[in-house]
Amino acid sequence: MPRQQAAGARRPARVHPDVEEVLVSRRALARRVAELGRQITADYAGRELLLVGILRGAAVFVADLARAIDLPLRLDFVSAASYGAGTESSGDVRVEQDLREPVAGRHLLLVDTVLDTGLTLHVLDATLGARGPASLRSVVLLRKHRGTPPLHTADYVGFTVPDRFVVGYGLDYAQRYRNLPYVGVLRPSIYQPMGGLTVTKSIG
């Protein structure tokens, strides 16, 4: 199994005021993505790879990862939503945008940012696996440390992080914070119910 790293990081000089704590710094992200790229290049040597980014969160990660892989590759995207309104998975995955590239006989690598319950990868693995790819594996930037095992595991993991609500490097809350260059914990006061009313905001 590929090596996994803990996500220790120093606090950068400039941190968004809505971020409580930085879990993975910009430098650590760049270093680990480069390592993942080298490992994937070695594992798929001599083969063409189809990278499948899971929108919208993985857009930043898949762009950096693609540049770190020294192989012939093609890039496609699938959109699958499992959060809906709030900060917890709804337990229901909806495939909202399918691939344009054919799958049969291809080497597919699903790229996601967070492995939480594993439900999204579980559904996409079954859906795409039924189309006859030569191989189907997955890479996630972050795996949340939870009390229960996920429904689906990833073949490559960048960092293991606490089970907290994180933003940055493509991850958002209400479509904000995706452009932060690090992964940080969002302050609970930003998304928790206020004054007895539930604040509902969508997560893409």
DSSP assignment letter at 86? S
Residues annotated catalytic, as ranges: 116
**Residues 172 and 57 sit within 8 Å (Cβ to Cβ):** yes
Tell the residue number behind the tokens 């499948």, with chain if given: 52
**Residues 185 and 165 sit within 8 Å (Cβ to Cβ):** yes
What is 131-184 written as a DSSP string?
A: T--SEEEEEEEEEEE-SS--SS--SEEEEEEESS-EEBTTB-BTTBSTT-SSEE
